């Protein structure tokens, strides 16, 4: 197995890559030891048990193929980003939740948008009725973004935005606000999910056909390369496919099939792999089978490193590193006995952390019932903090590496996921396979098999098909108040009344002309939102140029 710096023993690695990294990135400022005072090493290998040639089998953290982690120090240098996913009602209510989470020790923001925002409708559009603020925050114009991030410095916080079809427009809102704050663009950190292919497969919040959607994605790649060097241009997501019912192996395979399609689109747009690959990020689910999930993350890191190097000719180590965010499994949460979800989420968070995630969202116990309450969100965040600061699992790198079971699972997941990738390649790539319904059918069949195993009591879900109780007390739940929706629509009407509407009409024509040409749309979108054009107005123009996607038929 090839290595990036020639380390062939634990002592060589400690003196080399690891020691150089901690000079630049100081370790956490408290001792790494057990309750009995035993010192915890950065990493463990068969050398510690007088074992065989370890490097031939596995490698070290921070070295190709990064099975054990992408950084030599991992959490000994810095814990993962604790990034709780939040957003509901209007921008004013969501801003209050964000500032609360930051005050409680959250280290990054993760924005949930409502369905009208996700599919390009203003809050007062007939299609938005009944959905404003329900599953996320309503953002229709720059005025909403200004209120959403009120009293939050964009330079000092990283922001992940779970937005796809309208990802380029929401990034334009963010850039426009950063300009108003006088932010240094080189310091703006965050992620736009921007992953449309998984929407066609599993989630459904698409607007445009693939050609127009891929145009917007590659325009974001090019713009960020030149203007936002610290911004992750896409978060290629397996999470939503896993939530729809696919297996761990399918999650890895389908995610990488989509990643290959995005890389090829970027290469086709004239970018070089090493120019944009370091800003690619990924997003995975973490379910309750702890060791399977750990193995999945380790296998995924190794697979991506090999794909980057062998298929796309990556030269830079950063281009080969799989950087990923993890969210615990929303579909695993139960409305029955919701307190049990705290335990489920803890196990899933442990899997993500022992699997080497770069950032993590932990679901709240009441999310099977409603938007999470403030108390439930605090417990979810405290779960991460207890694991990070009390459990000891972050004190050594890849704590389960070398386990016979984990290594076997890692190899098997990589092998089976590679077979899926080969099958998708034989079909003609991710998009051709989506058009033929391949991924959709595979997910539907896997979901059906899983549900049948529960229905037949072949699999136990505590509180659902076993260990049930007759009477259950339901916790308090959050509902979006009608007055919040009215406030959002009133703000939108005020924006339309107070802006320069002559300039608005001119910019809509400019946007249409740009969309019909091959010019990069990001600068035009930024100018539009700076003049308070709304997301609905912008998407209406783009619908006229790109068309609207209809659901792929799966037989």
In a domain, 503, yes or no: no
Tokens standing for 436? Answer: 């033929």
Task: HSE, CB side, 13 Å, CA atoms: give it for residue 362.
Answer: 32
Which residues on neighbouring strands pair with residue 160, listed in sequence order?
Answer: 110, 191
What is the per-residue pLDDT across 300-355, written as a single tens digit (0 to 9) for each? 999 999 999 999 999 999 999 999 999 999 999 999 999 999 999 999 999 999 99
Lowest mean pLDDT of 28-32, 40-44, 66-70, 507-511, name the range: 28-32
Mean pLDDT confidence for 513-532: 98
Task: Name, in order, each residue with C-beta under 8 angstroms of 203's C-beta and a sequence gap of 6 or more.
Answer: 164, 240, 244
Chain centre distance of CA 373: 22
Give the strands of the sheet with 280-286, arranged side by side. 231-232, 190-192, 159-162, 108-112, 81-86, 359-361, 324-328, 280-286, 234-237
Which residues sit opposite 325 in a β-bridge? 283, 359
In 381-437, the DSSP E strands lie at none
Lowest mean per-residue pLDDT among 46-60, 184-198, 234-248, 516-530:
46-60
Confidence at residue 26, expressed as pLDDT on a 0 to 100 scale: 55
DSSP at 112: E
Domain extent at residue 289? 74-455
pTM: 0.91
User: Before 224, cis peptide (omega within 30)?
Assistant: no
Q: How far is CA 301 from the centre of its chain?
A: 15
CB 90 within 8 A of CB 488: yes
Q: Quick check: 468 and 340 in contact, CB under 8 A?
A: no
Residue 92: pLDDT band by 50, 70, 90 thresholds?
A: very high
Number of domains in the chain: 1
Both structure tokens of 267: 């290469």
Distance from C-alpha of 298 to C-alpha of 300, rounded to nearest angstrom: 5
Q: Is residue 501 part of a domain?
A: no
Q: Is residue 542 part of a domain?
A: no
pLDDT score of 1 more than 50: no
- Is 247 a residue whose pLDDT tops 70? yes
Question: Is position 471 within any domain?
Answer: no
Residues 6+ apart with CB under 8 A from 225: 233, 271, 275, 276, 279
**What average pLDDT does range 460-476 have in this prediction?**
85
The DSSP secondary structure of 253-297, one letter per residue, reads: HHHHHHHHHHHHHHHHTT--HHHHGGGEEEEEEE-S-HHHHHHHH
> How far is C-alpha 311 from the chain's CA centre?
24
pLDDT band at 214 (very low <50, low <70, confident <90, very high): very high
Segment 366-375 mean pLDDT: 90
Higher-pLDDT residue of 207 and 8 is 207
Is 462 among the domain residues? no
Q: Is the pLDDT of residue 210 over 90?
A: yes
Alpha carbon 153 to chain centroid, angstroms: 22
Provide the percentage of residues in the chain whose pLDDT is more than 90.
Answer: 81
In 149-289, which ranges are continuous DSSP H helix?
A: 167-181, 197-198, 210-227, 239-244, 248-268, 273-276
In the predicted model, is pLDDT for residue 251 greater than 50?
yes
Closest by Cα among 378, 518, 401 to 45: 401
133-167 burial code (b ≥16 CB/10 A, e <16) = bbebbbbbbbbbbbbbbeebebeebbbbbbbbbbb
Residue 269 belongs to some domain of the structure = yes
Residues near 365 by Cβ (< 8 Å), separated by ≥ 6? 333, 338, 339, 341, 342, 345, 376, 379, 380, 475
Mind listing the pLDDT tens digit for each residue in 387-443?
Answer: 999 999 999 999 999 898 999 999 999 999 999 999 999 999 999 999 999 999 999
Contact 338, 476 (CB under 8 A): no
Residues 6+ apart with CB under 8 A from 76: 22, 27, 28, 32, 42, 394, 395, 396, 397
Across residues 505-524, what is the average pLDDT? 98
For residue 478, is it within any domain?
no
Q: For residues 234 and 262, is the Cβ–Cβ distance under 8 A?
A: yes
The C-alpha atoms of residue 401 and residue 404 are separated, in whole angstroms, by 9
Per-residue confidence at 57, pLDDT binned at 50, 70, 90?
low
Question: How confident is the model over 21-33, as a mean pLDDT?
Answer: 63
Q: Does 42 reside within a domain?
A: no
Confidence of residue 191 (pLDDT cuts 50, 70, 90): very high
Helices (H), 17-157: 19-24, 54-57, 91-103, 115-118, 142-148
Q: Residues of 257-291 as b/e, b for ≥16 C-beta within 10 angstroms?
A: bbbbbbbbbbeebebebbbbbbbbbbbbbbbbebb
Mean pLDDT of 449-473: 90
CATH label of the domain that carries residue 166? 3.20.20.240
Residue 97's Cα: distance from chain center in Å? Answer: 20
């Amino acid at each position: 197995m090839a290595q990036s710096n020639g380390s062939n023993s634990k002592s060589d690695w400690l003196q080399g890559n690891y020691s150089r990294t901690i000079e630049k990135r100081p370790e956490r400022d408290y001792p790494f030891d057990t309750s009995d005072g035993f010192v915890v090493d950065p990493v463990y290998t068969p050398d510690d048990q007088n074992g065989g040639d370890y490097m031939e089998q596995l490698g070290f953290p921070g070295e190709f193929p990064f099975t054990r982690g992408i950084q030599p120090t991992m959490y000994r240098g810095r814990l993962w980003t604790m990034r709780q996913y939040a957003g509901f009602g209007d921008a004013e209510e969501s801003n209050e939740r964000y500032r609360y989470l930051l005050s409680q020790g959250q280290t990054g923001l993760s924005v949930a948008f409502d369905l009208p925002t996700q599919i390009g409708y203003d809050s007062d559009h007939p299609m938005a009725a009944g959905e404003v603020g329900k599953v996320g925050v309503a953002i229709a114009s720059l005025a909403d973004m200004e209120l959403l991030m009120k009293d939050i410095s964009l330079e000092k916080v990283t922001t992940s935005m779970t937005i796809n079809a309208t990802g380029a427009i929401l990034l334009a809102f963010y850039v426009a606000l950063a300009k108003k704050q006088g932010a240094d663009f080189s310091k703006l950190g965050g992620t736009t999910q921007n992953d449309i292919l998984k929407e066609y497969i599993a989630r459904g919040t698409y607007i445009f056909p693939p050609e127009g959607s891929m145009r917007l994605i590659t325009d974001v790649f090019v713009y960020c390369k030149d203007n936002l060097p610290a911004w992750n241009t896409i978060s290629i997501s397996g999470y939503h496919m896993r939530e729809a019912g696919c297996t761990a192996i399918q999650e890895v395979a389908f995610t990488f099939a989509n990643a290959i399609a995005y890389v090829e689109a970027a290469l086709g747009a004239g970018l070089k792999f090493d120019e944009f690959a370091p800003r690619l990020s990924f997003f995975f689910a973490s379910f309750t089978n702890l060791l399977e999930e750990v193995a999945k993350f380790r296998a995924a890191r190794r697979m991506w490193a090999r794909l980057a190097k062998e298929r796309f000719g990556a030269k830079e180590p950063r281009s080969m590193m799989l950087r990923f965010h993890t969210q615990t499994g929303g579909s695993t949460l139960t409305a029955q006995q919701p307190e049990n979800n705290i335990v489920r989420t803890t196990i899933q968070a442990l899997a993500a952390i022992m699997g080497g995630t770069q950032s993590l969202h932990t679901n709240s116990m009441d999310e099977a019932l409603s938007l999470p309450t403030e108390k439930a969100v605090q417990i979810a965040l405290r779960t991460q903090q207890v694991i990070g600061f009390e459990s000891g699992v972050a004190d050594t790198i890849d704590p389960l590496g070398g386990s016979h079971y984990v290594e076997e699972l890692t190899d098997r997941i990589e092998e089976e996921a590679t077979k899926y990738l080969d099958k998708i390649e034989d079909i003609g790539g991710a998009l051709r396979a989506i058009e033929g319904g391949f991924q959709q059918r595979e997910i539907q069949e896997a979901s059906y098999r899983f549900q049948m195993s529960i229905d037949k009591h072949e699999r136990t879900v505590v509180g659902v098909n076993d260990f049930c109780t007759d009477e259950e007390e339901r916790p308090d739940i959050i509902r979006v108040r009608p007055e919040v929706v009215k406030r959002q629509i009133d703000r939108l009407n005020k924006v339309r009344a107070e802006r320069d509407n002559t300039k608005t009409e001119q910019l809509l024509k400019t946007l249409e002309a740009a969309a019909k040409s091959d010019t990069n749309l990001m600068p035009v979108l930024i100018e539009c939102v700076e003049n308070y054009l709304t997301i609905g107005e912008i998407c209406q123009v783009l619908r006229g140029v790109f068309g609207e996607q209809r659901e792929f038929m799966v037989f």
